[in-house]
Amino acid sequence: MLLFTESSKPKKSKKPLKFDVIIDAGEFLDSPEQFYMWKYSPMGIWAYIIGGGLLLGVIAMALVPVWPGEAQIAFQYITNGSGVIVGVFFALLIVRLILFVLVWAFSKGIYHFWLLPNINEDKLGIIETFKPLYSLDNYYEEKEKKEHRKKRREAREREGISGSEVTSATEDKKTI
């Protein structure tokens, strides 16, 4: 809801009026210089089509007992099939989590194994979701690099060399 006020005093001339928009309705005072107006944004035709389709679908689902026998059987196969697909998807997620935990536990956190690593990606297409089949990441090298950096830092601190002195020394060697 919007509130419009005239920015100038009302005149008897036929000039177009200027309006100021006041969003807060608490500022509205009933006076001849002000009037109240609703802003109306009509819905598109697709909103009515989709709403009508949903309504017809709900009515059709409620009338399943009066459908012909062949239609009831087809509906049963469709709903059972979609339920099986959803169940297989959740079972796949549970199996891949179990495999990840087993590989991670037995390797003491060094290896991360994912079966179908892109299965939960929303931005990929159907075919890309199943590529690659698995991924195996080795985090031992990263741990080793971190430990090596830590040992070098401790050695520098024992010698009294700060990190900035080491970088400037290496830069001098590069320029020579």
User: d(Cα 115, Cα 95) in Å, to the nearest integer?
Assistant: 9
Place of tokens 């099939």: 81
User: What is the model's pLDDT at position 36?
Assistant: 65
User: What is the model's pLDDT at position 48?
Assistant: 95
**C-alpha pair distances (Å), 42 with each of 13, 36, 46, 48, 64:** 33, 19, 12, 11, 35
User: What is the model's pLDDT at position 6?
Assistant: 52
User: What is the model's pLDDT at position 138?
Assistant: 86
User: What is the model's pLDDT at position 47?
Assistant: 95
User: What is the model's pLDDT at position 24?
Assistant: 66
User: What is the model's pLDDT at position 137?
Assistant: 87
pTM for the complete prediction? Answer: 0.50
User: What is the model's pLDDT at position 95?
Assistant: 95
Contact 121, 129 (CB under 8 A): yes
User: What is the model's pLDDT at position 28?
Assistant: 61
- Rounded to the nearest 10 degrees, what angle do helices 163-175 and 140-159 cross at? 100
E strands of the chain, at which residues? 2-6, 19-22, 34-37, 111-115, 134-138
Instruction: Supply φ then ψ for residue 108, to 5 degrees.
Output: 60, 40
Number of residues in the chain:
176
User: d(Cα 74, Cα 29) in Å, to the nearest integer?
Assistant: 64
DSSP 120: T
User: d(Cα 118, Cα 36) in Å, to the nearest integer?
Assistant: 55
In terms of phi and psi (left: phi > 0; alpha: psi -120 to 50; beta: otherwise), the region of 25 is alpha
Cβ-Cβ contacts under 8 Å for 96 (sequence gap 6 or more): 114, 115, 116, 119
User: What is the model's pLDDT at position 152?
Assistant: 84
pLDDT (tens place) for every residue of the chain, 176 residues total: 455 555 555 545 566 666 666 666 666 666 666 666 677 788 899 999 999 999 999 999 999 999 999 999 999 999 999 999 999 999 999 999 999 999 999 988 888 999 999 998 888 888 998 889 999 888 877 777 778 788 888 888 888 765 555 555 554 444 45
When computed from its CA atoms, the radius of gyration of the chain, rounded to whole angstroms, is 35
User: What is the model's pLDDT at position 61?
Assistant: 92
